Each structure stands twice: as structure tokens, then as C-alpha cells.
Structure 1
Amino acid sequence: MKKLSIITLLMATICLTANNISAQNTEPQELPFSMVEQKPTFQGGDANTFTKWVFSQITYPEIAKKNGVQGRVTLQFTIDTTGAVTNIKVLRGVDSSVDKEAVRVISMSPKWEPGRIKGKPVNVVYTYPVVFSLK
């Protein structure tokens, strides 16, 4: 009888663990921008609409100006199923001051229209360069 109880308890534990693992795997995956049928859109515009918005929000850091820091900060972020910008990462930075400014601006982004596959919203990974130039 004791053996039966231990076996039953062991089986219940295995089933609960398997159920938990299965539930974790149902989270939406992130797809590259090029793989979605309907690309995310920013405020109903084309690709230039987002670029114009970004550059209207950038404040060139004074320390970067003083030190002549220029260059391209490459960011990666996710446009999630609600259109929010999440998971912002610096893939290739220039200097901490301009890297932080690029992340700050992208994190302020208004919601996008999410990307879709077969009509359903999906998480989309987007790579975006922000150029800092002292011209």
C-alpha cells in the first residue's frame, strides 16, 4: 500500500511538471520583421514616419557634443501583440551617453499597429539604427 501511494504521488508530480512545461511553451514567440505577413506600422505611416518621430524626440547629450561623439547606435526591440515597444537592447553602441538617449527615445514610442500572421497579432523583433551626427 505504501508503494502504491509513493508511485501515485510520483506520477502526480510528473504530470504537474509536464503540464507546467507545456503552459510555459505557449507564450508567443518573437518573429523577425521580415517574416510577418503584415508588418507593424507606426501611426499609420510608412517607415519614414517612425524615423521622423524618433529624430523629433532626440536630445543630443551635452557630454557627447563636448567630446565630439558621433556614430550609429543599433537597437533591437520587440513590437508586441498590443503594439507596445518592449525588450529594447543596444546591439552596437557608440558611447554610453548616446546609447542611453537612443534607448530613452525608443522606450517613449507610442503604440504601433502590431504585425500579424493570418490576421492574428504577433510579437515582431525590429532592428533600428539611430544616427548621431554633429553636422
Structure 2
Amino acid sequence: MKFSYPAIFIATICLMWGIPSSARTTSYTANATNCFPPVRDNYVENPRFPGGEEACMKFIADNLRYPAEAEGKGIEGRVYVQFIIDSLGHVVEPRILKSPSPLLDEEALRIVRAMPVWSPRKIRGKAVHTKMSLPIMFRKQYFKTERQTKP
């Protein structure tokens, strides 16, 4: 019979110090009480745009208008907008975190203010306020201009 030296050493120490055998043994068999994970009462449901993340991107793409002045100057970039989703799901207090130009800020804020009601964040079933950030990309290649649509 094969014995591992660490197991024999631990068993010898336990016998020397008088640790009861019930404390030395560990059961690894599954039964009805330990085969399911414990139920947690601190369940968190994150805020959600109606229709999911793809619907949010589609909403932004459909409603975003490139500012004419920014287009004329060739300004492109990503505008980061921070806002709060209140306990009812309304978007409140939008503000610009980072922007390549102030010419793009008003359009980004307009899009965020125009968003429909979200499903709010819930902790243990109770709706709470949540701070969110959203990047809005401005690139001229994404927008159809009158020159591109006319033959």
C-alpha cells in the first residue's frame, strides 16, 4: 500500500496533539445539501437600456447628427458623457467627462437627454440611482452627407 509522506506526517501530528478524528477527516461526497450553490439575498441587477446594448447603439446611430461646424473643421473623436439613471429609470444630470472639442459636446448631451427610460439598477429588488458613462463616437465616415447621396 502506498502512503504519501505529508499525509503520514499530518496524521502523526494529529495523534500526538490529541486532535479528535472528526476534526481530521473531511468528506468530499456530494449530497442534497451541498450540491447547489448558496442562495444570496444581495442580488444586483444592473441598469439596462430598453432592448439591450445593441438597441442603445442603434438609438445613438439613428439620432446622432454631426455638427456642421465640426464637420467643416474636420473635428472627430470620442465624447465621454456621464449621467445618472435615477430609481425610476430617467436619465438625469448628463455632463461631459472628456471631449476632443466643445463643438461636439452639445450634440452628445442632446442624444443622452433624448434617451428613453431605462430599467434602473436594483439591489435586493430595490431600485437605486446609478452613475453611468457612455462614449459617443464622432467620425465623418459614419455620417452620410449630401455630397455622398447625390449622383
TM-score, length basis structure 1: 0.70
2:87 is equivalent to residue 75 of structure 1: no
Shift in Å, 1:46: 2.0
Matched residue, 1:97: 103
SS at match of 2:61: helix
Aligned residues, how many? 99
TM-score, normalized by length of structure 2? 0.63
Distance in structure 1 (CA, Å) of the matches to 2:54 and 2:130 = 18
Tell me the secondary structure at the aligned position of residue 44 of structure 2: coil
Bigger Cα Rg: 2
Structure 2 regions of 5+ residues with no counterpart?
1-42, 142-151
| Structure 2: distance between partners of 1:88 and 1:68 | 25
More strand by share: 1
Residue 75 of structure 1 aligns to a residue whose secondary structure is: strand
> How far is the alpha carbon of 1:47 from its aligned partner?
1.3
Deviates more, 1:91-100 or 1:112-121: 91-100
1:76-99 Cα distance to aligned partner (Å, 9 max, x none): 101100100011110001211211
Identity %: 31
Matched, 1:66 2:72: yes
The aligned residue for residue 40 of structure 1 is 47
Structure 1 stretches (4+) deviating beyond 2 angstroms? none
Aligned to 1:114: 120
